[in-house]
A and B are shown apart, each in its own frame.
Chain A
Amino acid sequence: EAQVTQNPRYLITVTGKKLTVTCSQNMNHEYMSWYRQDPGLGLRQIYYSMNVEVTDKGDVPEGYKVSRKEKRNFPLILESPSPNQTSLYFCASNADYNSPLHFGNGTRLTVT
């Protein structure tokens, strides 16, 4: 089954404790991206990647890092999480920039 898999689904952590949210896709897509969704603000792009070793900032990259060492994986790293990063996060992939996005099932992060 074609899918984007994110883990974990739920995460509660404390300020400053580094964490990683994993994302993997099995569709051989070139593009992968991360979004956060907050009430009233909609989905906002954090980072995206056009291919292995090629990443670029989205609209809200501050406080986040990504890497794309393999085509199928695109982890999101929060080196020092803060409460304002409490949000619902989605990973997505698409075949090319013009194609529809396929989303993972989301990670609900709470930073206390």
Chain B
Amino acid sequence: RKEVEQDPGPFNVPEGATVAFNCTYSNSASQSFFWYRQDCRKEPKLLMSVYSSGNEDGRFTAQLNRASQYISLLIRDSKLSDSATYLCVVLTGANNLFFGTGTRLTVIP
């Protein structure tokens, strides 16, 4: 079983839609969680860290469910500029970083 699993998509949604991605992790001792955004052929960029109580940044909401071992990312009012691949990253112990393979989102006009 992979350490981190994501639905690869693609998710094709119309502008203005709400879309959610999940990412499951296998190690219950995982301690830090992040969502990154990656545009085609470019470097991943931090979108947001995921805190235990959940956190929001504008149209983006991240949540952590330790009992079921998944993190989620919710994007409200999707914009064309949100089209990208979204990577979840899980840290388990010192420098044991695991990356999901990414979920591809396309927002359609």
A81 within 8 A of partner (CB): no
Interface size class of B (residues with CB under 8 A): 20 to 34
Nearest opposing residue in chain A for B102, CB measure: A42
- Total A-B residue contacts, Cβ distance less than 8 Å: 45
- CB contacts under 8 Å to B, within A85-112, are 88, 90, 97-98, 100-106, 108
B72 within 8 A of partner (CB): no
Q: Does A97 contact B44, Cβ atoms closer than 8 Å?
A: no
Q: Does A101 contact B87, Cβ atoms closer than 8 Å?
A: no
Cβ–Cβ < 8 Å partners of B43 in chain A: 90, 103-106
Q: Is the interface of A mostly helix, strand, loop or mixed?
A: strand
> How distant is B87 from chain A, measured CB to nearest CB, in Å?
7
Q: Does A40 contact B101, Cβ atoms closer than 8 Å?
A: yes
B94 within 8 A of partner (CB): yes
Q: A31-B95, A43-B87 are in contact. Are A100 and B46 (CB under 8 A)?
A: yes
Hey, which bits of chain A sit against chain B, CB under 8 A?
31, 33, 40-45, 48, 50, 56, 88, 90, 97-98, 100-106, 108
Hey, which bits of chain B sit against chain A, CB under 8 A?
31-32, 34, 41-46, 49, 87, 89, 91, 94-95, 97, 99-102
